[in-house]
């Protein structure tokens, strides 16, 4: 099976959704997102069966650019994350009404198309094109369908756009320089270059700016909380569940193999910045009174730990980081959806205006509680597997890093359980809170089932990504 079929399905789906009209847009988008999931599942089975699903066709003669896609365990794991979460995100929106919904759902599929292309591309220029394309739909989703004051929303979204675009330009300059050395943008050719220490520092720093903003890593995080708060919940799910994983994935796929000497040299600084994000995000989350902003800073803390795992340059660190990327993607989408369900009933994200939900909606309370426990890495959930493995890798580098990184578990448990008490218990809000609808329950049940199943049996995902991680480590240690 041709790996580009996934991209084709998502692109055609975006066009079909756009021309279908507002009435059927959500259903058409859901159909094509499920079709992409089915196609990816078949592709993964072929890969596990030993079939080569890579694609490399000449595209542009001057400069020498190839339409090159690589379907290995690492990229397919991230594509699976994308095509699994996309239908769940679309389904989660069925309880909302959107003006010009055909535009809204078409942009969701187009964004899934661009993010999938980013995970599959192994030609630097093609990768950069997909990377930038993913920015366009989320810009309009947040700007047009966001919430709150229009002027504040515009400022937040424009800041996000300028930050990410500016960082990406440094990466483009790095690719242009690498092309002068290799006469190729192919990753396989770029990793073979014998770059000097100075050249590696320049390349590493250029990539780091692009990825640190996208992830985000402190101090490049200032756009995140406002955009997460102002974007519609669907946009926040796309950003936190999938888009930030583009930066983390790219650290492993592009940054480390191309500039391994710089990665080794500056490892303490990189680990320090990543763990600083863990502590900062956790402390700021403690003070939040808005549920979406609390979850935004919680996400900042968790991705800081994932970034630290990537920069340990160990097999356990990279494997744990990938596992945690996937687990975090599912749990943060579930938590933001829970915030949206509450907003539909109470019309507020203010924590002190909530309360009294447990006595009215036992099903929702139970599912929300499981997501909260997964977020704090309770053993038996997939998040525990990723966080434990990352902390173990940090202890291999320096036990102090592991101790500091572990604060995400302690502080996370405190602010998440405190939030749960304030939101779900008590009698603050006197409005009627109806229990979850059928479509809401489906989203929650699928997310929870995934987190519990792979929390007890993570082997399929670990086995899928381990060969790719070992290959990358060989390139780093060459």
Between 225 and 80, where is the model more confident?
80
> Which residues lie across from 67 on neighbouring strands?
57
Average pLDDT of the residues in 193-215: 94
Compute CA distances 134 → 20, 111, 127, 246, 285, whole Å: 22, 5, 11, 10, 28
Q: Residue 359 has what pLDDT?
A: 87
Q: How confident is the model at residue 82 (pLDDT cuts 50, 70, 90)?
A: very high
HEC assignment per residue over the chain: CCCHHHHHHHHHHHHHHHHHCCCCHHHHHHHHHHHHHHHHHHHHHHHHCCCCCCEEEEEECCCCEEEEECCCHHHHHHHHHHHHHHHHHHHHHHHCCCCCHHHHHHHHHHHHHHHHHHHHECEHHHHHHHHHHCHHHHHHHHHHHCCCCHHHHHHHHHHHHHHHHHHHHHHHHHHHHHHHHHCCCEHHHHCCCCCCHHHHHHHHHHHHHHHHHHCCCCCCCCCHHHHHHHCCHHHHHHHHHHHHHHHHHHHHHHHHHHCHHHHHHCHHHHHHHHHHHHHHHHHHHHCCCEHHHHHHHHHHHHHHHHHHHHCCCCHHHHHHHHHHHHHHHHHHHHHHHHHHHHHHHHCCCEHHHCCCCCCCCHHHHHHHHHHHHHHCCCCCCHHHHHHHHHHHHHHHHCHHHHHHHCHHHHHHHHHHHHHHHHHHCCCCCCCCCCCCCHHHHHHHHHHHHHHHHHHHCCHHHHHHHHHHHHHHHHHHCC
Q: How confident is the model at residue 147 (pLDDT cuts 50, 70, 90)?
A: confident
Domain spans of the chain, in order of start:
1-265, 269-478
Q: How confident is the model at residue 95 (pLDDT cuts 50, 70, 90)?
A: confident
Tokens of 446: 């699928």
Query: Is 453 a residue whose pLDDT tops 70?
Result: yes
Q: Of all residues in the chain, what percent carry a pLDDT higher than 90?
A: 83
CA 108 to chain centre: 15
CA 144 to chain centre: 22
Query: Is 324 a residue whose pLDDT tops 80?
Result: yes
Q: How confident is the model at residue 458 (pLDDT cuts 50, 70, 90)?
A: very high
Query: Is 326 a residue whose pLDDT tops 80?
Result: yes
Q: Residue 248 has what pLDDT?
A: 96
Q: Residue 307 has what pLDDT?
A: 96
Q: Residue 340 has what pLDDT?
A: 95
Q: Of all residues in the chain, what percent carry a pLDDT higher than 70?
A: 99
Q: Which residues are within 8 A (CB) of 161 and not within 5 positions of it... i.e. 6 or more apart?
A: 135, 139
Task: Quick: pLDDT tens for 350-386.
Answer: 998 898 899 889 999 999 999 999 999 999 999 999 9
Task: Quick: pLDDT tens for 130-144.
Answer: 999 999 999 999 999
Query: Is 395 a residue whose pLDDT tops 80?
Result: yes
Average pLDDT of the residues in 99-123: 96
Query: Is 192 a residue whose pLDDT tops 90?
Result: yes
> How many other CB atoms are found less than 10 A from the CB of residue 180?
8
Between CA 276 and CA 299 the distance in angstroms is 14
Query: Is 430 a residue whose pLDDT tops 80?
Result: no
303-317 as b/e, with b when 16 or more CB fall inside 10 Å? bbbbbbbbbbbbbbb
Question: Residue 75's closest CA among 44, 114, 96, 34?
Answer: 44
Q: Residue 427 has what pLDDT?
A: 73
Average pLDDT of the residues in 305-334: 96
Q: Residue 365 has what pLDDT?
A: 95
- Sign of the CA dihedral 322, 324, 325, 330? positive
Q: Tell the burial category of 463 from Cβ atoms under 10 Å away from its Cβ (0-12, 13-18, 19+).
A: exposed
Q: Residue 432 has what pLDDT?
A: 85
Q: How confident is the model at residue 1 (pLDDT cuts 50, 70, 90)?
A: low
Q: What is the pTM of this model?
A: 0.95
Query: Is 471 a residue whose pLDDT tops 80?
Result: yes
Task: Quick: pLDDT tens for 245-280.
Answer: 999 999 999 999 999 999 999 999 999 999 999 999
Torsion angle of the four alpha carbons 469, 474, 477, 478, in this order, in degrees rounded to the nearest 10 = -150
Q: Residue 222 has what pLDDT?
A: 85
């Amino acid at each position: 099976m041709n790996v580009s079929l996934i991209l084709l399905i998502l692109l055609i789906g975006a066009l079909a959704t756009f021309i279908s009209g507002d009435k059927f847009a959500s259903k058409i988008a859901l159909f094509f997102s499920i079709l992409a999931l089915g196609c990816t599942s078949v592709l993964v089975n072929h890969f596990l069966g030993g079939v080569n699903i890579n694609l490399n066709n000449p595209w542009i003669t001057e400069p020498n650019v190839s339409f090159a896609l690589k379907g290995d365990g690492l990229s397919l794991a991230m594509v699976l994350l994308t095509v699994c979460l996309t239908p769940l995100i679309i389904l989660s929106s069925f309880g909302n009404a959107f003006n010009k919904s055909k535009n809204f759902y078409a942009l969701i599929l187009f964004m899934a198309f661009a993010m999938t292309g980013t995970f599959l591309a192994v030609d630097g220029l093609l990768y950069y094109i997909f990377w930038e394309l993913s920015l366009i739909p989320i810009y309009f989703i947040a700007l047009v369908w966001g919430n709150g004051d229009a002027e504040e929303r515009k400022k937040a979204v424009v800041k996000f756009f300028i930050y990410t675009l500016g960082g990406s330009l440094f990466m483009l300059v790095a690719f242009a320089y690498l092309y002068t050395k290799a006469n190729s943008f192919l990753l396989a050719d770029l990793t073979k270059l014998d770059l000097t220490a100075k050249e590696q520092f320049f390349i590493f720093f250029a990539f780091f700016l692009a990825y640190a903003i996208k992830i985000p890593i402190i101090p490049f995080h200032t756009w995140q909380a406002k955009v997460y708060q102002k974007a519609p919940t669907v946009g926040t799910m796309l950003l936190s569940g999938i888009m930030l994983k583009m930066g983390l994935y790219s650290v492993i796929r592009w940054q480390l193999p191309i500039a391994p000497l710089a990665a080794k040299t500056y490892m303490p600084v990189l680990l320090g910045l990543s763990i600083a994000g863990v502590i900062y995000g956790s402390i700021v989350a403690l003070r939040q009174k808005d549920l979406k902003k609390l979850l935004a800073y919680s996400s900042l803390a968790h991705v800081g730990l994932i970034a630290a795992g990537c920069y340990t340059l160990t097999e356990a660190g990279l494997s744990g980081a990938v596992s945690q990327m996937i687990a975090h993607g599912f749990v943060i989408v579930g938590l933001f959806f829970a915030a949206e369900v509450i907003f539909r009933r109470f019309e507020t994200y203010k924590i002190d205006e909530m309360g009294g939900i447990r006595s009215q909606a036992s099903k929702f309370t139970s599912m929300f509680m499981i997501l909260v426990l997964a977020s704090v890495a309770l053993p038996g959930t997939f998040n525990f597997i990723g966080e434990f493995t990352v902390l173990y890798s940090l202890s291999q580098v320096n036990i102090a890093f592991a101790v500091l990184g572990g604060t995400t578990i302690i502080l996370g448990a405190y602010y998440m359980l405190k939030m749960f008490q304030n939101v779900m218990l008590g009698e603050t809000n006197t409005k009627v809170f109806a229990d979850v609808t059928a479509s809401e329950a489906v989203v929650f049940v699928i997310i929870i089932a995934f987190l519990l199943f792979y929390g007890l049996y993570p082997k399929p995902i670990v086995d899928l990504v381990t060969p790719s991680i070992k290959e990358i480590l060989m390139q780093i240690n060459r």
